[in-house]
Amino acid sequence: MNSEGTGASDALAEPTLVVRGLTAGYGDLAAVRGVSFCVAPGEVVALFGANGAGKSTTLKATVGALPRMAGEVRWLGRPTSAPLHRMVREGLDFVPEERTIVPGLTARDNLRLTRNGVAGALSQFPELEKILDRKAGLLSGGEQQMLILGRALSRRPKALLVDELSLGLAPLVVSRLLAAIRHAADADGVAVLLVEQQARRALSVADRWYLMSNGALTGEGTSADGVGTLEAAYLAGAVSGNAHRNEAGKG
């Protein structure tokens, strides 16, 4: 496997984010091992895999929210070991699986936590205007995700990493969120890494994809390959993972 990806990125500028040989986990236990990928400006890259495959760990270690055991992260053309808050100041934004709102504040005040947050979010999601004065904790799941994603995009980030955006949301809302991500990549050159369970929907906006299984990358491709290629890679990774576990059980 090409450690810096293939396909759409070849024709694009130098990658905004490059990860090489990333190993990370919790305590002394490595949850992901030797993971390598890249994301270029204006590119949407999807990261697929079953629950527990290591996708969230990969994102957290990449952005400095989780210590790295080994490997290198190159951000804006240079190696970095910066923590998340410093990478955010340099133009990275991270939307974790946990919804990062302040429930007791209104939607408007949640957006005011970011410079130009209200105007920037409304430019992405005009439908938020009618709920600006509601407490964020009382909004629907879809409204909360629009609020979070709108706030992130209002910062005009150089890179956006998003973890499980669609979790528990209606299909129409998911399509709306993914469309906003695609627009940010096309209009503003944002480099996007998207962890997503809904493969078909993600492939509709992604340029490329990687597949994770048991803490390692087991496949990659482009959206032009179609969902069949992804499904074949998924099955091959599952078979390989089962064989590995069976061998380990004999040891």
| Cβ neighbours, 10 Å, residue 74 | 17
Give the pLDDT mean for 32-43: 97
Mind listing the domains of the chain with CATH numbers?
Answer: 7-91+157-250 (3.40.50.300)
Instruction: Concatenate the DSSP letters of all residues of 104-151 into one string.
Output: TSBHHHHHHTSTTHHHHHHHH-GGGGGGTTSBGGGS-HHHHHHHHHHH
Per-residue pLDDT reduced to its tens digit, 198-218: 888 999 999 999 999 999 999
Report which of residues 165 and 125 the model is more confident about.
125
* Residue 217 neighbours by CB under 8 Å, 6+ apart: 1, 35, 36, 37, 210, 211
Residue 10, pLDDT score = 43
Residue 28, pLDDT score = 86
What does the alpha-carbon distance between residue 90 and residue 155 come to, in Å, rounded to a whole number?
Answer: 11
Please state the pTM of the whole predicted model: 0.86
Give the pLDDT mean for 229-250: 58
